[in-house]
């Protein structure tokens, strides 16, 4: 009789702990998205200005001391089609129909830059078990430390933009990603320089600056009237090296990176919708903030596991003792 009650009790409490564990992550409030840093620096890529010259790709390779990727015999320019262990910055082409008109969704073409977006709430940093990826407190730059990295490649899966790339072709490879030209040994930002790509961009399609100033510039461009002339800056948005006048295109009223998954410090604007340019289907919520919420509700101070362990030790001890010499 007593034993039965006990069994029932232990069953019930066991079930209670398990249900509690299952419900904790469901009911817990996930942490909110991280917020943009006050002085975060970033870049603004305006697809309508990009002429596809790939000067930025070549400069990136030079700064980072990486070999060009070539497919054909003409070794005149870098032919990398996507990010890889050898390429941190790439220009992709959008083409539709006969591809005759620049910045037209139909029968048009456009260029799109792909490199680390330096997320405000970076998934790569959140998922890395050994803190090999970190976000700088002031600048918001996301950098990588190969000495800590174990190569689990969770950062690749956790990055909404498939940015971190592992060097699969090397026996002792590492993760490669854009570190905004500020990694050890390069430190262009710390030395008051711009990122390599924005320094060489002939059209100002890649613009350097603080996130704040770049966002203001992007919003300004959203307000322009198509067909008018606008004086576009080159280099650093707050201290442009030079300007050029150009007809204003019909911008899509969307600044990519203002809010997507918490926002990014590298933002894009374009005359073609971003899903066509290959940017991912992201909501405002960063997925890693939800994952962290689940993880912390289950493991804060290891409280739930400790309760489970205490309860189970008691039940198991009691049950094995009862079995006693019988087995």
Partner 1 sequence: MSAHEKAGGRIFTLPFMILSVIAAIGVYFIIQRFVYGMGAVANINGGFPWGIWVVYDVVIGTGLACGGYALAFTVYVFNKGQYHPLVRPALLASLLGYALGGFGAFFDMGRWWQFYNIFLPWNWNFNSVMLEVGLCVALYIIVLIIEFSPAFLEKIGATGLLKALNKVLFLFIALGVVLPTMHQSSLGSLLIAMGYKVDPLWQTMQFQPLFAVVSALIMGFSIVIFEASLSHVRFGGKSETPLLGVLGKIAVGLMAVFVLVRLGVLAGQGKLGLMFAGDFSSAMFILEMALFIFPAFVLLSATKRHNGGALLIAAVSMLFAGSLYRFNAFLFTYNPGPGYSYFPSVPEIMVTLGIIAIEIMVYLIIVKTMPVLHRSEHA
Residue numbers 270-309 binding partner 1 by CB under 8 A:
278, 280-282, 287-288, 290-296, 298-299, 305, 308-309
Rounded distance between C-alpha atoms, residue 290 and residue 296, angstroms:
10
175 binds partner 1 (CB under 8 A): yes
Least distance from ligand SF4 to the Cβ atom of residue 30, Å: 17
Residues written for the chain: 327
Question: Could you tell me which stretch among 26-34, 178-186, 197-205, 222-230 binds partner 1 (CB under 8 A)?
Answer: 26-34
222 binds partner 1 (CB under 8 A): no
Q: Which residues of 52-75 are buried (b: 16+ CB within 10 A; e: fewer)?
A: ebbbbbbbbbebbebebbeeeeee
Q: Which residues of 134-153 are buried (b: 16+ CB within 10 A; e: fewer)?
A: bbbeebbbbbbbeeebeeee
Residue 117 binds which entry of ligand SF4, partner 1, none, CB below 5-8 Å type-dependent: ligand SF4
Rounded distance between C-alpha atoms, residue 208 and residue 280, angstroms:
23
The residue within the footprint of partner 1, chosen from 2, 170, 184, 225 (CB under 8 A), is 170
Within the chain, residue ranges assigned H as helices are 2-27, 55-64, 123-127, 154-158, 196-200, 211-223, 287-299, 303-323
Least distance from ligand SF4 to the Cβ atom of residue 263, Å: 10
99 binds partner 1 (CB under 8 A): no
**Angle 42-45-48 from CA coordinates, rounded to 5°:** 165
149 binds partner 1 (CB under 8 A): yes
Please identify which residue in the block is written with the tokens 């150009």. 246
Question: Could you tell me which stretch among 96-104, 198-206, 224-232, 289-297 binds ligand SF4 (CB under 6 A)?
Answer: 198-206
159 binds ligand SF4 (CB under 6 A): yes
Residue 203 binds which entry of partner 1, ligand SF4, none, CB below 5-8 Å type-dependent: ligand SF4
The residue within the footprint of ligand SF4, chosen from 34, 181, 205, 213 (CB under 6 A), is 205
Rounded distance between C-alpha atoms, residue 309 and residue 122, angstroms:
34
- The binding site for ligand SF4 (CB under 6 A) comprises 50-56, 91, 111, 113, 116-119, 122-124, 127-130, 132-133, 142, 149-155, 159, 161, 163-164, 175, 177, 200-203, 205-206
């Amino acid at each position: 009789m007593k034993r039965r009650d006990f069994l029932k009790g232990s069953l019930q409490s066991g079930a209670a702990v398990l249900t509690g564990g299952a419900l904790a992550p469901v009911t817990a409030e996930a942490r909110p998205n991280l917020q943009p840093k006050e002085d975060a620096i970033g870049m603004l890529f305006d697809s309508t200005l990009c002429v596809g010259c790939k000067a930025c790709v070549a400069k990136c390779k030079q700064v980072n001391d990486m070999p060009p990727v070539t497919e054909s015999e003409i070794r005149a320019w870098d032919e990398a089609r996507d990010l890889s262990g050898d390429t941190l910055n790439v220009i992709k082409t959008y083409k539709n129909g006969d591809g005759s008109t620049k910045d037209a969704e139909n029968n048009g073409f456009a260029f799109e830059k792909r490199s680390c977006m330096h997320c405000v709430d970076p998934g790569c940093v959140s998922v890395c078990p050994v803190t090999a990826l970190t976000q700088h407190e002031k600048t918001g730059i996301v950098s990588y430390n190969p000495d800590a990295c174990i190569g689990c490649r969770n950062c690749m899966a956790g990055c909404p933009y498939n940015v971190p790339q592992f060097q699969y072709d090397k026996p002792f490879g590492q993760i490669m990603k854009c570190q905004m030209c500020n990694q050890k040994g390069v430190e262009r930002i710390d030395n008051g320089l711009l990122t390599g790509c924005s320094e060489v961009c002939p059209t100002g399609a890649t613009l350097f600056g603080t996130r704040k100033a770049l966002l203001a510039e992007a919003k300004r461009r959203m307000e322009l009237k198509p067909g008018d002339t606008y004086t576009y800056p080159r280099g650093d948005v707050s201290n442009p090296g030079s300007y050029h006048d150009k007809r204003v295109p019909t911008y899509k009223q969307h600044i990519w990176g203002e809010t997507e998954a918490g926002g990014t410090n590298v933002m894009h604007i374009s005359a073609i919708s971003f899903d066509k340019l290959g940017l991912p289907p992201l909501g405002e919520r960063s997925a890693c903030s939800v994952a962290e919420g689940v993880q912390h509700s289950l493991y804060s101070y290891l409280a739930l596991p400790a309760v489970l362990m205490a309860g189970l030790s008691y039940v198991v001890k009691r049950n094995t003792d009862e079995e006693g010499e019988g087995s």
